[in-house]
A and B are shown apart, each in its own frame.
Chain A
């Protein structure tokens, strides 16, 4: 699948939404700007299924709301730690195996972990994730496993 036209369409849609002027002059500027951007990106050779993961778009629509709900829950937990009169933390660094097959999947998983407060991905070597957690319970519960499975599903069969 050729990704350049898709990128161009997305960029031009962004241009239209942000500018919201439909005079020929501005449309012309938009066309030129988007074309230059796409040209540069194509020449740099960074336009592939990692930089524009169109194949994930539909499954991401199911993943993102779940992620937002997870973020909300862990926010409440961290807020409780911070607001307690005496701060009780037992931070620790935990290693565990991720089950994603592609780098893109690992990237999404690592960023999902970091995006939920209470856990931060500090390093990845191969499948081995190194995660810093503010309290031990944040990490060894079943929720990380759930997230792991969900990202693996998001990544899909195509891999």
Chain B
């Protein structure tokens, strides 16, 4: 039954890849990158169960965090054109 789940994740990766290749804007590609990251996390978790050795979950755990950091770095770059820049201070922004 885990094989079905893994197959679903793979189909999703193909669809997200389509979006990454088609674009059209940079933000679509960031969205696809983030989404493929999420799907990789789920894929690793599911594959651990397919092979009967769910020991790789630490890897999924680390991926979830790396993916987040990568996405934030990318978006900071898009928004400010620079990774070292700090956000302009606005009052009341979260």
Contact = CB atoms under 8 A, between A and B. Distances in A.
Interface in B54-92: 58, 61, 90-92
Contacts of B90: 125
Nearest to B93: A124
Interface of A: 18, 103, 106-107, 110, 124-127
Contact of A124 (B58, B61, B92): B92
Given A18-B58, A110-B94, A124-B94, 10 more contacts: A18-B61, A103-B94, A106-B94, A107-B94, A124-B92, A125-B90, A125-B93, A126-B91, A126-B92, A127-B92
Interface of A is mostly: helix
Contacts of A107: 94
Nearest to B57: A18
Contacts of A126: 91-92
B55 to A, nearest CB: 11
A18 B55 CA distance: 11
B57 to A, nearest CB: 10
15 contacts: A18-B58, A18-B61, A103-B94, A106-B94, A107-B94, A110-B94, A124-B92, A124-B93, A124-B94, A125-B90, A125-B92, A125-B93, A126-B91, A126-B92, A127-B92
